[in-house]
Amino acid sequence: MHRCVVGCCVLLSAALRGQHGRIIDGVVGWFQYVSKHAARGVRHYQRCSENLPEGWKGLTGRVWGKVGEWPLYPEVRIDLQDHRQDGDGGFFAYRRLVRSWPVSDRRRAGDRYRLRSARRMLTCSDTSRSRVIGFMEWVPYEVQMAFCANLRTRGYSVIC
């Protein structure tokens, strides 16, 4: 009976403009749910430290009330220009580097599923949105700075 009621609630909430609704079973389901929230940016309301209950401040990690720290990186804005006036070839060269790094990393690890995911990671037909997709989730900060140095040696104007 309980499972039927829960199933009906999941179906109803998924139908009413919910992004995705399903029953979470076991440890794997719980960690999939938690990882979805951990992947969100630090400014997202569910990761904002001001929204924590008083007793949990300073104790949070990946799961509230557990040990650990949220990974925080400085916000970086990278302006890339090519040799033309207001050219944006630098952006596309940088984007190709960002895409090729995880593909190479996954290929080396031999993980087929993650390789497919890496190949699709920057797929977006909306050009205004594609320019603001965060690259930090895919490539470490140090590697991105090495990409910028590479682009500088190739003649692009790079301002970080």
Type of residue numbered 22: R
Residue ranges per structural domain of the chain: 1-38, 40-72, 79-159
The pTM assigned to this predicted structure is: 0.49
Q: DSSP secondary-structure letter at 135?
A: S
Residue 149 neighbours by CB under 8 Å, 6+ apart = none
Q: Are 106 and 115 in contact (CB under 8 A)?
A: yes
- Give Cβ neighbours of residue 53 (< 8 Å, ≥ 6 apart): none
When mean pLDDT is compared across 10-14, 25-29, 90-94, the lowest value belongs to 10-14
CA dihedral 56, 57, 61, 66 (to 10 degrees): -30
pLDDT tens-digit series, residues 88-136: 778 888 888 888 888 888 888 888 888 888 888 777 777 777 766 767 6
